[in-house]
């Protein structure tokens, strides 16, 4: 199934910025009426990642009849960087993803979100008249422990430099070991889709280090409690949890099955935070939940 690259403009307090996204299963943002009425799935990545993390999942879903859009959230991947770290935050991400849904030309979407991407989907799904029809939360929930955020803050915002792609791959394997049992080819693919050329000519990770500013400063990291948001969600929800996850405690995941939308819970045994969604079992679970 072919993948095409597109972009749209988002608006922040500093002006317009480009939001890159890949599209699977469609010819572009201006398809025929028949195409735009096809099922549309939006897949949104984690805090310091990019939309190419979903290549395997998106290709599978597209092969089964869906149109799948995988954006690079502003400051990541092929999207623009904002002029100040203070401009990054969920209000901006919600506005940008709303613009993406409008560009896709549909009234309803299914949503797959990993970590940060799941929180964006959760916040959108909790709104009145939300366009989100079904929601998959990949290793994230309405309560996030401070300790997990401190771990993430230990690497997000760093700007490592590498001389070779193999060094990038090694860094990714260490930093994102929680993705689970990825193949060598999958790790190499992630490395190829995670690099940028730094001003000094060396290789760097393709995100704006300023996205880590929110983790800096005394008292900036605290437990996150979004239960009131979760309880307002009315669409069907499936939660994937890495068995070794520190960001989605088991007790939180189990509570999500009992309140609010009463999510369906699936645990991924060989992953922590967050399952890479490249294995057959994860893809099959998501496909059964979303594809109609």
**From CA 83, how far away is CA 15, in angstroms rounded?**
10
pLDDT (tens digit per residue) in 226-246: 999 999 999 999 999 999 999
Q: Per-residue confidence of the chain (292 residues) as pLDDT tens digits? A: 689 999 999 999 999 999 999 999 965 555 544 445 579 999 999 999 999 999 999 999 999 999 999 999 999 999 999 999 999 999 999 999 999 999 999 999 999 999 999 999 999 999 999 999 999 999 999 999 999 999 998 888 889 999 999 999 999 999 999 999 999 999 999 999 999 999 999 999 999 999 999 888 777 789 999 999 999 999 999 999 999 999 999 999 999 999 999 999 999 999 999 999 999 999 999 999 998 6
Sequence-distant (6+) residues with CB within 8 A of 107 are 131
CB atoms within 10 A of CB 251: 9
pTM of the predicted protein model = 0.95
- CA dihedral sign of residues 136, 142, 147, 151: positive
CATH topology of domain 3-142+227-290: Rossmann fold (3.40.50)
**From CA 136, how far away is CA 6, in angstroms rounded?**
24
Sequence-distant (6+) residues with CB within 8 A of 89 are 214
Which residues make beta-bridge pairs with 61? none
**From CA 144, how far away is CA 140, in angstroms rounded?**
8
Instruction: For the chain, give every domain's residue range.
Output: 3-142+227-290
Judge contact between 84 and 244, C-beta under 8 A.
no
């Amino acid at each position: 199934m072919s993948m095409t690259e597109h972009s749209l403009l988002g608006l922040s307090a500093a002006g317009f910025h480009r939001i890159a996204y890949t599209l699977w299963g469609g010819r572009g943002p201006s398809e025929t009426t028949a195409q735009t009425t096809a099922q549309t799935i939006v897949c949104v990545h984690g805090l310091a990642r990019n939309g190419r993390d979903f290549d395997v999942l998106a290709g599978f879903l597209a092969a089964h009849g869906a149109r799948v859009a995988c954006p690079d959230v502003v400051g990541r991947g092929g999207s623009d960087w904002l002029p100040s770290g203070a401009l990054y935050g969920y209000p901006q991400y919600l506005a940008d993803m709303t613009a993406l849904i409008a560009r896709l030309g549909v009234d309803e979407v299914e949503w797959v979100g990993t970590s940060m991407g799941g929180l964006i989907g959760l916040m959108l799904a909790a709104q009145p008249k939300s366009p989100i029809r079904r929601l998959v939360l990949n290793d994230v929930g309405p309560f996030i422990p401070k300790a997990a955020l401190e771990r993430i803050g230990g690497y997000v915002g760093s700007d490592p430099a590498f001389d070779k792609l193999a060094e990038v791959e090694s860094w990714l394997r260490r930093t994102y070991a929680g993705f689970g049992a990825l193949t060598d080819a999958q790790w190499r693919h992630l490395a190829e889709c995670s690099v940028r050329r730094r001003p000094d000519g060396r290789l760097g990770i393709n995100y704006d280090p300023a996205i880590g500013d929110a983790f800096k400063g005394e008292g900036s990291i605290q437990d996150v409690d979004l239960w009131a948001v979760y309880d307002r969600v009315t669409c069907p929800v499936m939660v994937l949890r890495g068995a070794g996850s520190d960001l989605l405690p088991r007790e939180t995941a189990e509570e999500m099955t009992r309140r609010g939308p009463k999510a369906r819970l699936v645990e991924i045994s060989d992953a922590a935070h967050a399952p890479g969604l490249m294995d057959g079992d994860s893809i099959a679970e998501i496909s059964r939940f979303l594809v109609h």
